[in-house]
Amino acid sequence: MTDLTQREVGDVIAEQRLHFTRDSLVRYAGASGDFNPIHYRDDIAAEVGLPGVLAHGMLTMGAAIQPVVEALGDPGRVVEYQVKFTKPVVVDAAEGADVDVTAKIAEAAGEDGVGRIDLEVVYEGRAVLGKAQVRARFAV
């Protein structure tokens, strides 16, 4: 497990590129029970005015915190996680979609040992999750 109490505001603690495929969407749909056809049918996505099949927002949110969990070494150290969905992730049938996650210390741990980590979650040069913030126990 990593002790983040010695890290400074602005320090990057994790970076990862996530790759979503249509298979990823199907597996997530089965696990979550969210079978909305905008997540697997191009014709339906187009019919409702979307630019293509979209990754589930909760899939993006859940995958984006994984690098932080790995950096912390224990998911039980996450106290709170919140995001604002700002842009959809369009998952191409052939190429999939790449989402880049960078996690930085945003607030040092307080007396309770809890600090804040901010996530930058980017697809095609634009943030797909805004105000993505993780409050976590920094000490082991």
Predicted confidence (pLDDT) per residue in 116-132, tens digit: 999 999 999 999 999 99
Contact 123, 62 (CB under 8 A): no
H/E stretch holding 58: helix 57-72
Bridge partners of 19, per DSSP, are: 98
pLDDT for 1 = 62
Q: Which residues of the chain have pLDDT under 70?
A: 1
Instruction: Looking at the structure, give the CATH architecture of the domain made up of residues 12-20+56-137.
Output: Roll (3.10)
Buried residues in 79-104 as b, exposed as e (16+ CB within 10 A): eebebeeeebbbbeeeebbebbbebb
pLDDT for 5 = 85
pLDDT for 140 = 75
**What is the pTM (predicted TM-score) of this model?**
0.93
DSSP secondary structure string for all residues of 3-52: --TT--TT-EEEEEEEEE-HHHHHHHHHHH----GGGT-HHHHHHTT-SS
pLDDT for 2 = 80
**Integer Cα distance of 71 and 15 in angstroms:** 10
pLDDT for 51 = 96
pLDDT for 121 = 98
